[in-house]
Chain A
Amino acid sequence: MSDASLNTQSFTNEASFGDFFALLKPRVMSLVVFTAFVGLLVAPVSVHPIVGFASILFIAIGGGASGALNMWWEADIDAVMKRTQNRPIPSGKVTAGEAKAFGITLAVMAVVMLALAANMVAAGILAFTIFFYVVVYTMGLKRVTPQNIVIGGAAGAFPPMIGWAVATGGVSIESILMFSIIFMWTPPHFWSLALFMNDDYTKAGVPMLPVVHGRRATRAHILVYTLFLAPVAVGAAFTSIGGPVYLVASVLLNLWFITGAVKIWRREEDAAIADKYSAERKFFRVSLLYLFLHFGALLAEGVLRNFGMGGW
């Protein structure tokens, strides 16, 4: 670029390194890293630390790449939603084309490198995850059906399965259960968010459940999914990755979660508006803790097993 062309551009908005990093959705990536790490660590096969580290890194980069591609596709709705309007593309720091190129490059690199560092099964699941999140969820479902996050939630549920595949080179009941926990947890988690962020989704025209079927139906859906989630989460305690520590943690967490869901279900809309959705906001925070502690308990069981304790 010549100096003469500088004045013709809005270079004050030029992206910094941090803006490109923000495209990777670091907060989502932290969940991906944590669950993939747990999946890797609880597997019955040990992995060389450097191979393990590299694999987790490539899984995280793959997850980040899907985030960048999601932001590329959703730049129009991100711009109208309060929660997302400061993202790099709507704020004008990164162009949609740059985000697309960045995302595709990182996605290909992550899959190829995971295949080289670990194995083809792990790389295959990672590739499918990226495809599922970007094409099936972002491009296909999100703007079409209120069941968007139910099906799309699968994308966020794959990381522990990939971690498990890195170690074992395959898929088994344990990894499917870890997948199922996140898969069943996603709808109540996001619907509780949608309850108090409804206006944003309405403005953007995203057919979230409260937008299409109302808050009453959403409250009922949250309760039903929370009830279905409980046996899946507790059931994992009786597999080779579970144990007494996990069982106790899971039972308590599910009681806590179900209590919250019943409370949300019984609440009248007027009461919720009056206290600015405090119960829904609390349920959303509890849901984050719920998932973190479940995988934390699995991790604890894995560590204890290494010391000859844990498990049944």
Chain B
Amino acid sequence: MAIVKEHEMHKRRFSRNMGVGLALLAFVALVYGLTIAKMQTGDTMEAADHSPRVSMTPAEPSE
């Protein structure tokens, strides 16, 4: 038996790795889609860092 022969176990590991890979890819796509959807619906945005937080900005007095 050749030493390079693939064991059935490797097939199962491949299926698991492929599954995890595809799940992660789908997760990235979903978060991207969510971001776009939230931007489209005009939800309150807060940038990551070094910018004023929308929720902490005092409301402007009405005239």
Q: Do A and B come from one complex?
A: yes
What A residues does B5 contact at CB under 8 A?
A: none
The binding surface of chain A is classed by DSSP as helix
B20, CB-defined interface residue at 8 Å: yes
Chain A contact-residue range equals 10 to 19
Q: Do B34 and A17 have beta carbons less than 8 Å apart?
A: no
What A residues does B36 contact at CB under 8 A?
A: 50
Q: How far is the CA of A68 from the CA of B33 in the complex (A)?
A: 28
Query: A18, A20, A48: which contacts B40 (Cβ < 8 A)?
Result: A48
Chain B contact-residue range equals 10 to 19
Q: Do A14 and B38 have beta carbons less than 8 Å apart?
A: no
Q: Give the number of A-B contacts (CB < 8 Å).
A: 39
The residue on B at minimum CB distance from A116 is B34
- In the assembled complex, the CB of A123 is this many whole angstroms from the nearest CB of chain B, namely 14
Q: How far is the CA of A18 from the CA of B36 in the complex (A)?
A: 32
Query: B8, B15, B30: which contacts A17 (Cβ < 8 A)?
Result: B15
Q: How far is the CA of A12 from the CA of B18 in the complex (A)?
A: 19
A-contact bits for B1-44, CB 8 A (1 contact / 0 none): 00000001100110110111000000000100110111011000
Give 30 A-B contacts (CB < 8 Å), ordered by A residue.
Answer: A11-B9, A12-B8, A12-B9, A14-B9, A14-B13, A15-B12, A15-B16, A16-B12, A16-B15, A17-B15, A17-B16, A17-B18, A17-B19, A17-B20, A20-B16, A48-B37, A48-B38, A48-B41, A49-B37, A50-B33, A50-B34, A50-B36, A50-B37, A51-B34, A51-B38, A51-B41, A54-B33, A54-B34, A57-B30, A116-B34
* 3 interchain residue pairs of minimum CB distance: A17-B19, A50-B37, A48-B37
Footprint of A on B, CB under 8 Å? 8-9, 12-13, 15-16, 18-20, 30, 33-34, 36-38, 40-41
